[in-house]
Chain A
């Protein structure tokens, strides 16, 4: 039997390679990494990021931290000397998300990490099954429109609730990401809104109701590619950031009704597989 000295890639080894500082998570540095993702776009993090990865980015906004958490990343490296602000630090501390900072740029960082002698931890494909009965759990949250610093907080809370109930991680991730998209829409386009979650052992239902400007053409908004808003649409407050196509991809059933000037109602159903 060959002596396999399998060195696994940890956050600590990446930190050393990049000569990075630890902003959050000094005690979590032995965490193993399943993947490396380099991006400045949050939509990509949510769409393509692999659970257990480390993110390399030049984009230091609170939404980077929230997106990373939703995508179940373990750590973020802020490059080119970008420093996380107070709200980012607090969020990361609360979620056990490791934050590193370095002066290195993206290319150098990729090279240095590629040169580390270490293996990525294989991602886990098996999912625990939900073998306990759940009473119907209902939760209701208020969203404040325009408040980008708290945007995503409700979705993260919902994610934690669903995780603690014991739903399968992939399902929780899909629900969390869709709810996050919906929450961001309300924050970006409405005065305020309400999210309700109803979770049972059959299904998880998430409803979002807002008093925003409404969507004039729901059909169109559901189409992928309807992301580049015209000047007119932007002037009315619509456009990129609708998130509907992504929600449609993640939810098993999605219903959207809207009235211009009144608001929008989004209903999502996620089926719990046995």
Chain B
């Protein structure tokens, strides 16, 4: 089957685990993110051009490419930082407005983020976002619900998002978390 005629059936390949490092400039406060296999981010503030970077977070994540199981076409996804589920924190945000409409149809909205700052990194094309959406929906195999992936263009300011891109934070923490958190009483409703 020729690649361009194929109704692609994407699979994840070249899955490699690494870290998403988040840095903040102490002068202008902008956020920078990047992916690395190095498990030791710089501890001290370092200067690069006009910026003075401090590591704010190192989180475990992975990167991958796609391969079509039918025609063998491959696509790289190096520009993808991660997916964020909209939790509707800002009613004025375009994504939150979309989520409010779509959740009635059990469609959950995710935002595909490239690395930050947006201006310095290649962001995901509409075509690639469509591939991601297609991959995850096929994998979900559900007639009942679906996901919709949108571009981070719709998000005014990631640093104001209450939601966070899916990644593994604090895996090196030795503190038993949330011992003091309130336990909700169990819900006895439903089937």
Per CB-CB distance, the 7 closest pairs between chain A and chain B, nearest first, are A225-B180, A146-B43, A240-B170, A224-B179, A241-B173, A240-B173, A227-B177
Interface segment, one of A103-111, A165-173, A196-204, A229-237: A229-237
- Chain B: minimal CB distance from A30 (Å): 31
| Chain A contacts to B: CB under 8 angstroms | 40-44, 46-47, 59, 61, 63, 67, 145-149, 180-181, 184, 188, 191, 223-225, 227-228, 231, 234-235, 237, 239-246
Q: A227-B177, A235-B24, A240-B177 are in contact. Are A63 and B172 (CB under 8 A)?
A: yes
Alpha-carbon gap, A234 to B24, bound state (A) = 10
Alpha-carbon gap, A228 to B174, bound state (A) = 13
Are B180 and A223 neighbours in the complex by a CB distance under 8 Å?
yes
How many of chain B's residues have a CB under 8 angstroms from any CB in A? Answer: 23
| Chain B contacts to A: CB under 8 angstroms | 24, 39-40, 42-44, 54, 56-57, 159, 169-181
- Please pick, from B57, B170, B172, B179, the residue contacting A148 in the complex, using a CB distance under 8 A: B172
- Apart from A46-B174, A184-B174, A245-B176, what are 8 other A-B pairs with CB-CB below 8 Å? A42-B173, A43-B175, A47-B176, A148-B40, A191-B43, A191-B44, A224-B179, A228-B177
- Across the interface, which residues of B come within 8 angstroms of A46, CB to CB? 174
Say whether chain B's binding surface is mostly helix, strand, loop, or mixed: loop
Are B179 and A243 neighbours in the complex by a CB distance under 8 Å?
no
Are B54 and A61 neighbours in the complex by a CB distance under 8 Å?
no
Q: Which of A40, A149, A227, A239: most chain B Cβ within 10 A?
A: A227
Alpha-carbon gap, A109 to B184, bound state (A) = 32
